[in-house]
Amino acid sequence: MSVRETTSKVWFVGAGPGDPELLTVKGQRLIAEAGAILFAGSLVSEAATKWAGPDCEIQDSKGMDLDAINDWLISRARRHACVVRLQTGDPGLYGALIEMVQPLDEAGIEIGVVPGVSSAMASAAAGVESMTLPEVTQTVILTRVEGRTPMPEGESLAELARHHCTLCLFLSITLLKKVQSELYAAGWSEDAPVLVVHKASWPGEERVVRTTLADLRERCRAEKINSQAMIIVSPTLGARQWPQLKKSKLYDKTFSHRFRKADKTGEAVS
């Protein structure tokens, strides 16, 4: 493919987890400006294209392979100043972003990326859960269990889970037996709390399941959840009901920072 400079720009826009209102303001503006939109219909609600103009060409990519997607983006960038590739969640997480960007680079087409709300964040929000708590865990790992795509050395779920921090498992709902075995191998107990959210934030379709590691497979089978689900395993789950919490230093009246000083008696001074 010959390199040719264009005045077009292809934007990879994170559509968020499902609710069209969770698109960023910038994402909505670009959808409205776009001459062509390619959206991932298997994961992105078509409602996310509702801000498109009446003359915008809109195409669902769920039946397209990578070559077809790249050819479509390049051909539309030859015709339109603004082309949008609308991806689920955030384009930089399990979105094949670089595979689509490289052919556009070779074609001399300018690229832009607009971040989106990840399903990990939307799932925690659906459950009213915090992924981090003082003196419980300050670390979140976004990962997946190994399936058809192998994991790099040192990144098996068992190895990562040994940190006993918050784990957000993408693309793993069909591999629950493996999830259980690897977490057990990492020392997680059978009664470890697990949050499973199917279609987080999708209006009328979101389902929140609270279970334990031991009951994970049975509960998901009973709820018929076998796709588009986030699995969160964390020592912070259920903290809303804990009788005592270690509080953040940020709001501690005895803690000073550049916007607030504490006096010697422990009374905060604004």
What string of DSSP letters covers 11-68? EEEE-BSS-GGGS-HHHHHHHHH-SEEEE-TTTS-GGGGTTS-TT-EEEE-TT--HHH
Q: Where do the CATH 3.30.950.10 domains begin and end in the chain?
A: 120-239
120-239 fold: 3.30.950
Q: pLDDT value at position 48?
A: 83
- Structure confidence at residue 2 (pLDDT): 38
Rounded CA-CA distance 136/242 in Å is 13
Q: Is domain 9-117 annotated with CATH 1.10.274.10?
A: no
**Side by side, which strands form the sheet with 207-212?**
140-144, 166-170, 229-233, 193-198, 207-212
> Tokens at residue 70, please?
């790249």
CA distance 220 to 175: 11
Number of H helices, E strands in the chain: 7, 12
* Positions of CATH 3.40.1010.10 in the chain: 9-117
pLDDT string in tens for the chain (270-residue length): 334 445 799 999 999 999 999 999 999 999 999 999 999 887 887 878 889 999 999 999 999 999 999 999 999 999 999 999 999 999 999 989 999 999 999 999 999 999 999 999 999 999 999 999 999 999 999 999 988 888 999 999 999 999 999 999 999 999 999 999 999 999 999 999 999 999 999 999 999 999 999 999 999 999 999 999 999 999 999 999 999 988 877 777 777 776 767 765 655 555
Per-residue confidence (pLDDT) for residue 247, from 0 to 100: 80
| pTM of the full structure | 0.89
At 264 the pLDDT is 58
Taken as a whole, the chain contains a residue count of 270
